[in-house]
Structure 1
Amino acid sequence: MSIKSIAAKIFAKQVYNKTQKWVQNPVETQQKVFDKLIAAAKNTQFGKDHDFENVKTYADFAAKVPVRDYEELKYYVDQMVAGKENILWPGKPLYFAKTSGTTSGAKYIPLTKESMPFHIQAARNAILSYIHESGNADFVNGKMIFLQGSPEMEEKNGVKLGRLSGIVAHFVPKYLQKNRMPSWETNIIDDWETKVDAIVKETIHEDLSVISGIPSWVQMYFEKLQQKGGKPVGEIFKNFNLFIYGGVNYEPYRAKFENLIGRKVDSIELFPASEGFFAYQDSQKEKGMLLLLNSGIFYEFIKSDEFFTNSNGSGPKRYTIGEVETGVNYVLIISTNAGLWAYNIGDTVQFTSTKPYRVIVSGRIKHYISAFGEHVIGKEVEAALQEAMLGTDVSVNEFTVAPQITPATGLPYHQWFIEFENEPKDLQAFADKIDAAMQKQNVYYFDLISGKVLQRLVISKVPKNGFQDYMKSIGKLGGQNKIPRLSNDRTIADSLKTISQK
């Protein structure tokens, strides 16, 4: 065992012991975070506008600060982008993470000197947690690749801005710099397909032990590696044994990845976003990711099925960490040391455990299907597809689901656009298996099918690389971009329809 491996194990134990201190005191930990946030921001413009001087309890905060999304917080963010100080948080941000917006165009998410270290620590601690549990630290001697956005940045009124993954690339610890790939020259290539080709060329003869990225884009990298190398990825990189991912559920990709790699590898799931690093998988044995309660983020939760209600004009009930239950779908609301207050990031989570608090990402509050009141969420369609694939050789590269409200004939239905790697021998039988699983997952969907409001789902096959072609057509190929699992309208479906066949 190398000195580097021994040092990693010692450090992993230290970090684990430190983590356990706040894990054992979750409510008290969140209260301390809340108090610190309010005290730090009471003299900012936002703090004055919302009377932080008189916020003594969480109840005070909830009464004075409504839940907002980016559009509703944009008034404050625009002032920060214009160069003003002390708006949402003391001083100026260190960076703006630039993300794709909706009606507002580009979104500028602030990162501060207080928030930035937690993005780095969380990613580091996820790996150290794996080392502590598994005892495996050999991979620290190999090379690591992180498929990410360009680290090049612009500047706006004295504040640098770029993609989050590119910003984080500037903070990779010195002890990892020699091991880290790809090179700066390759990493700054803008065109994703050109970049992946360059990464393949640069890495194919290296000893990669850790590979990290969003599964859909890592899959593209693996496919190109296999084409160029003529053998499974696991034979090209004989010491590759750890895959780190985030952004989407890995399960729909797992069978395809194991086929591309040629064997199973351990994986670590992360839950990072421009707005904060929320959770990481702390156990290979337990389901879910450890919610980071001591990372400068105060969490609130709203039940998804109550989110759009307005009880007595005060909006839906907001829950804190000590009030949540397992198995309930919650919209995640955050207040952070980057100056986001009661901010709806759009993700929904479910708790798999409350001792400790572990979550899975169940979907997006805006990515759902409820054209007929069915309230279908991402977790349900992913679970239904997984169930249908069990015991078969069917594998799926990518998929998305949308309602077909006005079919040419017959009842409305849910239309599943699926890009198969290995197709089912009987497509209709496979569709029926997914549908049966969906009816078990969602009682509203069951009622609509049995009540003959909807007919059973219909699968439309998407040709090989069809989803990549779609993402390219909208300028979102690669990087941190992902295909929504669900849409409540036909925007994506109509774009895919031209390259699909029923």
Structure 2
Amino acid sequence: MGLKAFLSKPLAAFVVRGVNKWKFNGVESQEKVFRQLLDTAKDTSFGKDHNFSKVKTYDEFKNQVPIRDYEGLRPYVDRVVHGEEDVLWPGKPQYFAKTSGTTSGVKYIPISKESMPEHIKAARNALLTYIRETGKADFVDGKMIFLQGSPVLDSKHGISVGRLSGIVAHHVPNYLQKNRLPSYETNCMEDWEAKVDKIVDETIQEDMRLISGIPPWVQMYFDRLIQKSDGKKISSIFKNFSLFVYGGVNFEPYRARLEESIGRKIDSIETYPASEGFIAYQDSQSEKGLLLLVNSGIFYEFIPADEFYNDNPTRISLADVVLNKNYVLILNTNAGLWGYNIGDTVKFVSLNPYKIVVTGRIKHYISAFGEHVIGEEVESALMAAAEKYQVKITEFTVAPQVNPERGELPYHEWFIEFSEQPSDLESFRQEVDERLQQKNVYYKDLIEGKILQPLLIRSVKQDTFVNYMRRQGKLGGQNKLPRLSNDRKIADEIVANTNE
């Protein structure tokens, strides 16, 4: 055991003791965060407009602060972007995290001097919690790679602007800098495919022990490594590779293929970072769910997903959540986001401590006939069928076909890129459909009522989705393919390019 690994264990014990002080006191921690946020922001433009100085209770807060998405908050954000101070949060942001919105174009998410350390602390604590639970610390003595966006930052009115992962790269602790790959120059490359090739060149001879990134782009990195090493598994290339850290998408659809590429099972840590704040991380290898970070400068609210589009949906704090109910996640942050709909849906799997699973995106669903099929249901049905038929899936997306050309009943069309095809695609299709009916009673009723026909699967060739993301200019980094759409924009584009 090296010196860093040795020292990490007492540090992990110290940090976990601190985590345990708030871990089992979620509601009390949230009350404290709520008061701190309001008190700090009461003299900002937003605070004055919404009477923060008079707000004493959560019910009063709800009456003053409506739920907004980025477009709803944009008049305030635009003032901040143009250099105005004390608008959403005291002073100016330390950074803007630049993201791509489907309706808003480029979005500028403020990161304050108070919120930035929470991103770094949460990422650190996820690793230290793992060390404390498992006793495994050798990975800190080897090389680590974080597949991320470019750390090159622009500037708007004196505020640095970049992708979240690129911003975070400037805050990696000094004790990890010597272990970290790729090089700064390679990280700055914008062409994702050229960047991956360069990363392969820089890492293939190194002692890589921790690899982190969004699963589909890590898979691309693995594919290039295997190709460069004449078919060797990742575990043969990196003999000490022991920990995979990921976030952004559900790992399960990618797990089988990634583990096949690695050549063995490997420990993993799921994290839930967003430009708006670091929300949760996996704190146990044996328990389900991500620990909700209740004392990290974010006050959380929740709206039942099935009420979200109602005129007056239920809006609750952590004190009133229940297990296994799908909620839209609302954030109030120490960077000045208020009543902010981040767009994600979550479900609680534990209330002591508060642990969540991410179930999808509120805008990513299929409800062409009122079935409201969501991402969690689609992924669960597909993974169960894949396990039963022992197939491996590279990527997939689902869209409704409302007006089939031949006049038959409408259906859900699944575009699946298999790395290993099922021997009987028709039986596999039936299995997926049956599993989805078990998950969603409305979908089942539509099938039984002859309103919809069972789903159809279109098996697409290798690299279909990589090519789609390339055409969209969204290859690599933090970009993710939508798994569900309530229209056929993605589906029709894929069909139009099936012969590429």
TM exceeding 0.5: yes
Q: In the alignment, does 2:365 pair up with 1:368?
A: yes
Q: CA deviation at 1:397?
A: 0.2
Structure 1 residue corresponding to 2:445, chosen from 444, 447, 470: 447
State the distance in 1 between where 2:245 and 2:445 align. Answer: 39
**Match status 1:489 vs 2:487:** yes
- 1:20 maps to 2:20: yes
Displacement of 1:391 after TM fit?
3.4
Matches of 2:482 and 2:358 in 1, distance apart? 13
Aligned to 2:310: 309
Displacement after TM superposition at 1:462 (Å): 1.7
Measured after TM superposition, the shift of residue 123 of structure 1 is: 0.5
Amino acid at match of 1:471: M
In the TM superposition, what whole-angstrom CA distance separates every residue of 1:409-461 from its partner, at most 9, and x where no partner exists?
Answer: 31000000101100111211111110000001111111111111100000112
CA contact (8 A) 2:399 2:491 kept: yes
Give yes or no for the alignment of 1:392 onto 2:389.
yes
Amino acid at match of 1:244: V
**Residue in structure 1 matched with residue 297 of structure 2 by the alignment:** 296
1:256–1:397: 8 Å Cα contact kept in structure 2? yes
Q: 1:472 aligns with which of 470, 478, 481?
A: 470
How far the C-alpha of 1:375 sits from its partner, in A, is: 1.1
Contact residue 400 and residue 487 of structure 2 kept, 8 A:
yes
Q: What residue number does 1:106 align with?
A: 106
Tell me the amino acid that sits aligned with residue 145 of structure 2.
I
Structure 2 counterparts to residues 106-185 of structure 1, below 5 A: 106-185=106-185
Which residue is 2:190 aligned to? 190
What amino acid maps onto 2:115 in structure 1? Answer: S
- AA aligned to 1:285 is S
Aligned-residue identity in percent:
62
Give the letter for the 2:433 counterpart. D
Q: State the AA in 1 paired with 2:200.
A: V
How far off its partner does 1:499 sit? Answer: 3.5
Instruction: Tell me if structure 2 keeps the 8 A contact 1:463–1:499.
Output: no
Q: Deviations over 1:99-125 (max 9, x none)?
A: 002232100000000000000000000
User: RMSD value over aligned CA atoms?
Assistant: 0.8
Q: Would the aligned equivalents of 1:460 and 1:500 in 2 still touch at CA under 8 Å?
A: no
Q: Distance in 2 between matches of 1:444 and 1:327?
A: 18
Distance 2:250 2:101 in 1: 22
Q: CA deviation at 1:392?
A: 2.8
Distance 1:494 1:392 in 2: 28
Which one-letter code corresponds to 2:36 in the other structure? Answer: K
* Structure-2 residue corresponding to 1:223: 223
CA distance in 1, matches of 2:369, 2:388: 32
Query: Match of 2:325, SS?
Result: coil
Q: Which residue number corresponds to residue 212 of structure 1? A: 212
Query: Any idea what SS the aligned residue of 1:359 has?
Result: strand
Residues 419-434 of structure 1: pairs in structure 2 closer than 5 A: 419-434=417-432
Matched, 1:31 2:31: yes
* Matched position secondary structure for 2:388: coil
How much does 1:319 deviate? Answer: 1.1
- The aligned amino acid for 1:387 is A
Q: 2:243 maps to which residue?
A: 242
Q: 1: distance between equivalents of 2:496 and 2:460?
A: 10
Paired amino acid for 1:484: P
Match of 1:251 in 2: 252
Secondary structure of the residue aligned to 1:100 is: strand
Distance (Å, rounded) in 1 between the aligned partners of 2:247 and 2:171: 19
Q: In structure 1, what is the Cα distance between the partners aligned to 2:496 and 2:427?
A: 24
Partner Cα separation in structure 2 for residue 391 and residue 41 of structure 1: 53
Count residues in correspondence: 497
**Which amino acid counterpart does residue 174 of structure 1 have in structure 2?**
N
User: Structure 2 unaligned runs (5+)?
Assistant: none
How far does the alpha carbon of each residue in 1:341-396 deviate from its partner, in whole angstroms, 9 at most, with x for none?
01000000001111111101000000011111111111111100111012333100
Aligned to 1:320: 317
Write the distance in 2 (CA, Å) between the matches of 1:423 and 1:52: 58
- Tell me the amino acid that sits aligned with residue 453 of structure 1: I
Would you say the 8 A contact 2:389–2:428 is kept in 1? Answer: no
2:375 equivalent among 374, 378, 382: 378
- Aligned partner of residue 373 in structure 2, secondary structure: coil
Deviations 1:446-482 (A, max 9, x none): 1111111100000112210110100010110110000
Deviations 1:9-44 (A, max 9, x none): 111111111011111211110000000000000000
Are the counterparts in 2 of residues 462 and 496 from structure 1 also a CA contact under 8 Å? no
Which secondary structure state, in structure 1, belongs to the residue aligned with residue 167 of structure 2? helix
**Residues 116-175 of structure 1: per-residue CA shift (max 9 Å, x gap):** 000000000000011011110011100000000000010011101000000000000000
CA deviation digits over 1:162-215, x for unaligned, max 9?
A: 000000000000000000000001000001000000000110000000000000
